[in-house]
Amino acid sequence: MEEKSMERTEYVGKLLLDYSYYSGEDYYCDGKVEDELLEIVRNNPEAEFPRIIEEKKSWEILYHLSNERRNVIEWIPFEGKKVLEVGSGCGAITGAFAQKAGEVTCVELSKKRSLINAYRNRDYDNVTIKVGNFKDIEPALATDYDYIFLIGVLEYADSYIGGDFPQLDFLRLLKKHMNKDGRLVIAIENKYGLKYFAGCREDHTGRFFDGIENYPEAKGVRTFGINELKSIIRAAGIKKINEYYPYPDYKFMNQLFGKKRMPLAGELTDNIRNFDRDRLLLFDESAAFGGIVAEGRFNVFANSFLLITGGKLSVKYAKYSSDRAPEYAISTQLVKDEEGYRFIKRPICDAGVLHIERLADICSELKRKYEGSGLSINECRITKNGRTQAELEYIEGETLSALMDKRLFSKDMEGFYSLFAEYMKRISGNDSVEIYDRDMIFSNIILRDNVWTLIDYEWSDNEPIETRKLAARAVYCYFLEDVKREKKADLSRLMELGGFDERDLDEIRRGEALFQKKVTGGRLALSEIRERIGKAVVRPGKDTMQGAGGRLKIYEDYGNGYSEEASYFVDTAVIYDAEGFETKLSVKPGVKNIRIDPGDEPCIVSADIIEITDKSTGSTKQARIKTNGRKLKGAMYVFGHNDPNINVALGEVRDTDEKIIRVKMHVSRISERIANELIRGKGLFI
């Protein structure tokens, strides 16, 4: 792509970069991964990003390149509007603005990140990226923006603005740049998100329970609870606030809940979503969410917030199935407008138009098939107001799965089996009508006043499926969603009522993998990508690598110092006595130094072996190390503080090669008083 330069501006394709306020230095950088990202977006179309994400197995590549990042704002009606995006980063969301908005202005501190954004969105002529410090750029911004977006930005207000009340001052500044009907959109983590109680580290500081404890040590970055956040917005002079709750969080949202459509029982099952750090798993988040939802407290414990100022919006709920093949990727929204409540399904890209258009024909065929059976079919019509969409009735009531749960967990077993028997009667339609909905699961059927309505029939076609196999898949999915169900229910009784057997279930299990491969186009689901990235889920009580006050932590320095973003915990090791362990660390090319943190308490460390092997040559060298403790003798060190670390220099090993570091050490926790006595030389050898 040809780059055209002007005095303080630069075009990358059609996109304009404005350097008028750029200091000439990037103060924030993720290291070599940004060079890698720039190389990727220069040389690959966006259609290749999913493949690259799977191959790289990197949190940073996933975070910056995944199109699922766009879900959090895709549903907002900013078509043709004037948009300001503050903190645009590497452009994960900028392209979604460019596709719909009339004019997009981005503000970003980093030139490197702005170039990444520019190359991936080079085909848009309605985007300008202003590079530099927000405080310098702010006076020159327009005052008539329809939408101002802060996606993962407000928590960094101290860096942008400073002062005693940085978040409040930031919002007051931004308010001056909205037109009279303008909206401010804020996406941010909830410091009281359930994931933090369950054992995820705080997203920004990397410490357990940091936000829950109100950031006792952290300075600068911070998030908020829902009432605290709304108080800041109102103090800025903004009174009307629409509350939404992205799930599992705003970064990779697949459902959006609002006050008019909160989660249903059993709906929040996608919780192991830590991509960037290892985590503990202290309890079953799905089960905990069940009680929280029943108590009406989801707004307190949701992992993220999305707050939009101004008058009410028509969208009350949204669901995104964007990790599919393009021809099946769709969004579903619950809207309320002058026509009342209804669901709208739309293709996420043009390749999915046919999939949506088929729904009206499927609806007609299913109505014929189940006429007189006691199973109603949710009405569907296709409209084309600017883009193809399917409109379906909004059916109030309870899902069959929720009703079955109530009876199952209250030990009303006869009631539970009678519901399943009734399900069997109602899904036995007219075999002469050759349409079959393979996804006739319990959560896709709504009951109200003894009316049973099939609400979602997206996966219907003419391939014959016997009724018993529909029932077998429904039971399989019911148990898959919550393993506690299988422990309570009698599978043999369900098989007898449904007329299926173990062979049918085995066939369902085998067929499910093929079906999912068809739906995803062979792409990996986010849960599978998480597994490839390799961040551990540690369940207390199982073997873990322990240091003095916790697990062994490793930091990698790519030339810009150590950071939480380039750190991980070690979970596999040979434990060879009460306080000793041995492990091997795989070090990627480009890492300059390694820091080993043996715990978070005062301790004595005996670094018995720390040696480096160059994988390309097989040569092994003893590592040169430095510590922030006091050397006692030989390889023994004492640390009298809560941040012991051992720095391993890799400068003598070729930077381009992968390396293995073998670590064998003893770590013994001691009191701070004794540690400092040793450091002063009282009571032990020097």
Q: What is the pTM of this model?
A: 0.78
Q: Which two tokens stand for residue 294?
A: 């029943």
What angle separates helix 491-498 from helix 467-481, to the nearest 10 degrees? Answer: 160
Sequence length of the chain is 686
Instruction: Give the Cα separation of 365 and 408 in Å (integer).
Output: 34
Per-10-residue mean pLDDT, the chain, length 686 = 58 97 81 92 96 93 96 97 97 97 97 97 98 96 98 92 91 97 98 97 92 87 96 97 98 96 88 87 91 95 98 97 93 93 94 96 97 96 90 94 94 97 95 94 95 96 94 94 88 96 91 88 87 78 50 82 78 56 82 88 88 83 90 88 88 66 86 82 48
Distance CA 168, CA 174 (A): 10
CB 570 within 8 A of CB 597: no
* Domain limits, CATH 2.60.40, in the chain: 543-679
What is the per-residue DSSP string for 17-73?
EEEEE--S--S---THHHHHHHHHHHHS-GGGHHHHHHHH--HHHHHHH-GGGGHHH
Cα–Cα distance for residue pair 655/133, rounded to 1 Å: 33
Residue of 80, 83, 237 whose CA lies nearest to 145: 83
Q: Which residues contact 17 (CB under 8 A, 6 or more apart)?
A: 9, 10, 11, 114, 115, 118, 128, 129, 131
* CB neighbour class for 205 (10 Å; exposed up to 12, middle 13-18, buried from 19): middle
β-bridge partners, 129: 17, 106
The residue among 466, 473, 469, 456 whose CA lies nearest residue 513 is 473
Q: What is the CATH number of domain 543-679?
A: 2.60.40
Query: In angstroms, what CA-CA distances link 541 with 280, 382, 544, 667?
Result: 11, 54, 9, 20
| Paired tokens of 282 | 């202290």
CB 142 within 8 A of CB 105: yes
Provide the CB-side half-sphere exposure for 173 (13 A, CA). 21
* Strand stretches in 458-544, DSSP E: 460-461, 537-538
